[in-house]
Homo-oligomer: A and B are copies of this chain.
Amino acid sequence: MDQKKLEELLHAVHKGQLSVREGVHRLRNLPFEDIGEAMIDHHRPLRKGFPEVIFGEGKDAEQMIMIMERMVETQDDILVTRITEEQAKAVLKRFPQARYHPRGRAITLQVSEEEVKGKGVILVISAGTSDIPVAEEAVVTATMMGNRVETIYDVGVSGVHRLLAHREKLMEASVLIVVAGMEGALPSVVGGLVARPVIAVPTSIGYGTAFGGLTPLLAMLNSCSSNVAVVNIDNGFGAGYIASLINRSQEV
């Protein structure tokens, strides 16, 4: 559309129907969206392989389905996060081709061909068993974005030898996502063992002074390992997303 407007304008200039001066004036006063958006959105196509994401919390099954229907039309890959089992059932009934990930509380509906775009392995580590839903949200996200993903669960710092037993796996990963609640110490320990970027995800697991994840968040931000960066509490999706970007080669 905007392309068409530009063409018409230039044709008119070309034919002399519009003076150069008037052309400049019109160009500067064309509704911004027409030119501006055209220019800015060059990077849209770069986004191929990025799922469209629906944050499920606070939405009912009907709303989700309605949004998904619109997306399916545009052939987008879809990721629904924070979905309950009940909601998942309703969604699957409508989209039998979708896939439900109960541990990661997510639904994926992949239209594009699955293709490994990331070069290395994304390793997702969780401190406790209660942190697994957040970890799995990261796994689902990173897998959908075309990465090989591996996991090590239940290797909290109070039994540091359990973590050390996986040294090989740690050393081979390209990016590491470390998910922990309570004192949030695991990213520091992991960060000290590897020479790759660590994305730390605090979880709201814990009680009392865990303050719904504030404590592990603060701990992670103060990590004595310099290769640790942090995302929001329980934000497994975000961790999987940024880890995918890190794992992609620059050429993409």
Chain A positions within 8 Å of B, measured between CB atoms, are 3, 6-7, 10-11, 13-14, 16, 20-21, 23-24, 27-28, 30-33, 35-43, 46-47, 50, 53, 57-58, 119-120, 127-128, 130, 156-162, 164-168, 171, 174, 182-185, 188-189, 191-197, 199, 202, 204, 206-235, 237-239, 241-242, 245-246, 250, 252
Contacts and interface: CB of A to CB of B under 8 A. Distances in A.
Contacts of A7: 20-21, 24
A189 B160 contact: yes
A229 B199 contact: yes
B189 A185 contact: yes
Contact of A218 (B21, B130, B219, B252): B219
B218 A209 contact: yes
Contacts of A224: 127-128, 156-158, 182-183
22 contacts: A10-B13, A10-B20, A11-B20, A27-B27, A28-B35, A31-B165, A32-B165, A36-B161, A37-B165, A53-B226, A58-B130, A158-B225, A183-B184, A183-B188, A183-B220, A183-B222, A207-B232, A208-B222, A215-B215, A227-B242, A229-B229, A229-B231
Main secondary structure of the interface of A (DSSP, over half): helix
Nearest to A196: B245
Nearest to A218: B215
A206 B222 CA distance: 7
Contacts of A42: 28, 171
A10 B14 CA distance: 8
Contacts of A245: 195-197, 227
A6 B32 contact: no
Given A13-B13, A27-B35, A36-B164, A208 B204 contact: yes
Contacts of A119: 250
